Structure 1
Amino acid sequence: MSTTAPHTHESESESEEQTEGAPLGANGHRPPRLIHNEATTEIPVHLLFRDDPAPAPVPLKPAVVGRRQGAGEPSLARPAPQSRPRPAPLADPELVERPARVLPGAAGVCAGLGGVAGCLATSWWAGVLPPLLLESLRLPSQAGAGLGPAQWAAYAGAGMVGLSGFAGLARGRTGRAWVLGMFGRYRGTVRRTGLLWVNPLLRRRRADVRLRHWRSEAIPAADASGVALRVSVLLVWRVRDTARALLGIEDHEGYLRECVEAALARVPVEAPGGTRGGADASAEVLTRLVAGDAAAAGLEVFSVRPLRVEYAPEVAAAMHRRRIAALDARQRATMLGSVVDSVEDTVTRLTVRGLVELDDYERKALVRDLTVAFCSGRGEPA
């Protein structure tokens, strides 16, 4: 079967390599190898490896994106993003700590002194200052115009300035913060130290932002086998977002205690007498769970570590007996292993050195007698 279809030099070489092992024909040439399919159609092998023309390019539709596509940017079709579960939004998205606007304390002091000076000047203008005060202040005496509407207005203005200046003074300390609010709305947090001036109309709430620790009372828990336990934990934490901690929740310390109890109800704790690795693993899981729950309230948890773990009163006696029995069994197993090693070493030395010649019966009797002697010497019944 011949063909007139053109093919490349690479296809010809592949055809020659595949027909190299075929038998020679009548004219001295090897016939092309054929493949017979189920329909008894003969297909030359070289036709299977011929070069096909490249497929036509598939046009791509421009992707629909959120921004306008530039002139020189390629248009690539992007698959639709898969829907992922989103975290639950906060009750008030605006309730996030931000710095409040405050002034240095010198501004409040100057305002207060200015108000006092204004009141004195108004009194001198009205002529109501006593002579003794005039002499001490070295002010010239003059016949005042009396207390009229202008003098009362000056008194009111100077008094408001002086009162606002002195009333707005506050002292910022290290490790403490002020949460400011007005008419029920959050206005910012002050973490600065030193003498400050804060708007006296704002309500101030003091927050402790230092590193704190809390040692709990005995909290119900359970181990991996479900045995009831009582656990005391040490919690190291601090307030990170003062707005959420003081305004977003009623009692952030009580909420933190509830988070610890909820985590202990979900995580098995290492029983008394357990390994150190198991206790560290439990502490790590507890820390991760409590930190995740407390983050919504603006609290940062560093570690939650069990300090004291004991069995619950209803199972304490039974678990104590069980623990003593386990220790006794372990001790007996250790003692028995050492006795067997000692007997084996004694019998081996006697026989290897040729001190005695023992048959099976005598060997068994010697082993029994040595075992009884060693166990009696260690205070254990044979």
Structure 2
Amino acid sequence: MSTTTSHTPPESEGQSDGTAPGAGVRPARLIQNEATTEIPVHLLFRDGPDPVRMPLGPAVVGRRQDTGERPRPGRPVPVRRRPLPQTDPELAERPARVLPGAAGLLAGACGLTGALVTTWWAGLLPPPPAGRAFGLPAYPGHGLGLAHWAAYAGSGLLGAAGFGGLARGRTGRAWVLGLFGRYRGTVRRTGLLWVNPLLPRRRVDVRLRHWRSEAMPAVDPDGMALRVVVLVVWRVRDTARALLGIDDHETYLRECVEAALARVPVESAGGARGGTTAAGDALTRLVAEETAPVGVEVFSVQPVRVEYAPEVAAAVHRRRIAALDARQRASMLGSVVDSVEDTVTRLTTRGLVELDDYDRKVLVRDLTVAFCSGRGEPV
């Protein structure tokens, strides 16, 4: 598409550029020495006869580097972090309602007593002297009726609820209770307790635990493949989120450790002493941030064994052997040269021999061969 409309700048601008008014006038410079100026962008896009002029604000143009000009400070670019996993905000651990174990024992005893009394009331106790063992006098009943069956049902339910709800709370263990898919609370108390027998229980270990992983893939700062075994110290802090917020909190912890190893480089066995410690601190921080929203508290993630992957272990071993051999040869050669130099200097200084250039070269060669042979190294 061709454009027939032209733009003629004012004469003052043409003269300031050093161009005569009659000659071909260059367009005015849009960006001058100021750091902020207005750029008429609508002049660059004129597809129609009547372009739409859009009001533009000042555009900030940064200065070039290495020109002695200081750029205008701008807003810092925020660092985007990966969003942490989120669970149901209403899902948080809270204590469940339980009773002491004495209440369950009392209810069970009442149920048994009610059943015994109902049997006596119906006249079903064995005749004396066996009936006197219960401490009840003989009563000639008329058999089981509707009232007797109702009394039996009530006594049985009371006894089953009393004895069926008894539970023993242990130190370091907890129960997560639920009813019809709804979280009802967590029991962390110890001793003999009575818990509603209608509530399903899920036992969870809340002690401080450690997990030694299998060899996981990792890399060193140079990108070399490694196999790392880590020791993780952790515990369940929020039982509701750990058991109900995710499918399996132990599997989730294992996958978080593996993902952190893929992001944090680990120093190899021959690296710096503080490399493994720094990597452990970084791993601990990353895994703790990932597992905190799901109720798992991580205290330490430390590499306990770092070794090269099988596909690169042989090559790294050969490289280390070659480097060690090169250092030994360099040390041996330096000692041989020092010994030869000291020997020749002493011979010439004390006047024992008179050597010209040829004789000096021959003596140096013979001494070098002798010293190297004495050290067991080939010449």
TM-score normalised according to structure 2 size: 0.70
Distance verdict in 2 for CA 1:155–1:369, change over 3 Å: same
Partner of 1:190: 187
Matches of 1:246 and 1:293 in 2, distance apart? 16
Matches of 1:241 and 1:345 in 2, distance apart? 76
Structure 1 window deviating more from structure 2 (204-213 vs 163-172): it is: 204-213
Structure 1 window deviating more from structure 2 (184-193 vs 196-205): it is: 184-193
Partner of 1:168: 165
Partner of 1:316: 313
String of CA shifts for 1:260-288, please: whole Å, max 9, x gaps: 11011111121232232212211221122
1:168-317 alignment runs, 5 A limit: 168-317=165-314
Structure 2 counterpart of 1:90, from 59, 80, 86: 86
String of CA shifts for 1:284-333, please: whole Å, max 9, x gaps: 21122112112122112222222332222322322221122122223333
Matches of 1:171 and 1:340 in 2, distance apart? 82
Matched, 1:128 2:124: yes
Aligned-partner SS, 1:304: strand
Partner of 2:108: 112
User: How far apart are residue 337 of structure 1 and its match?
Assistant: 4.2
Distance verdict in 2 for CA 1:147–1:284, change over 3 Å: same
Aligned-partner SS, 1:381: coil
Matches of 1:291 and 1:189 in 2, distance apart? 23
Matches of 2:313 and 2:139 in 1, distance apart? 93
Q: Which consecutive residues of structure 2, in runs of 5 or more, have no partner in the other structure?
A: 1-77
User: How far apart are residue 140 of structure 1 and its match?
Assistant: 0.4
Aligned-partner SS, 1:131: coil
Contact 2:109 2:159 in 1 (8 A): yes
String of CA shifts for 1:332-367, please: whole Å, max 9, x gaps: 334344445555666677788x57688895777766
Structure 1 window deviating more from structure 2 (249-258 vs 143-152): it is: 143-152
String of CA shifts for 1:63-118, please: whole Å, max 9, x gaps: xxxxxxxxxxxxxxxxxxxx999976833112112222211111111111111111
String of CA shifts for 1:134-190, please: whole Å, max 9, x gaps: 221121011225433332222222221111110101111122111111111112211
Distance verdict in 2 for CA 1:334–1:164, change over 3 Å: farther
Contact 2:86 2:294 in 1 (8 A): no
Matches of 2:177 and 2:136 in 1, distance apart? 43
Aligned length: 299
Q: Percent identity?
A: 74
**Counterpart residue identity of residue 143, structure 1:** P
Contact 2:85 2:290 in 1 (8 A): no
TM-score normalised according to structure 1 size: 0.69
String of CA shifts for 1:212-247, please: whole Å, max 9, x gaps: 222222222111111222222222222121111111
Matches of 2:333 and 2:327 in 1, distance apart? 10
Matches of 2:137 and 2:278 in 1, distance apart? 83
Contact 2:101 2:193 in 1 (8 A): yes
User: How far apart are residue 199 of structure 1 and its match?
Assistant: 0.8
Matches of 2:139 and 2:232 in 1, distance apart? 71
1:127-166 alignment runs, 5 A limit: 127-131=123-127, 133-166=130-163
Partner of 1:4: none
Distance verdict in 2 for CA 1:125–1:360, change over 3 Å: farther
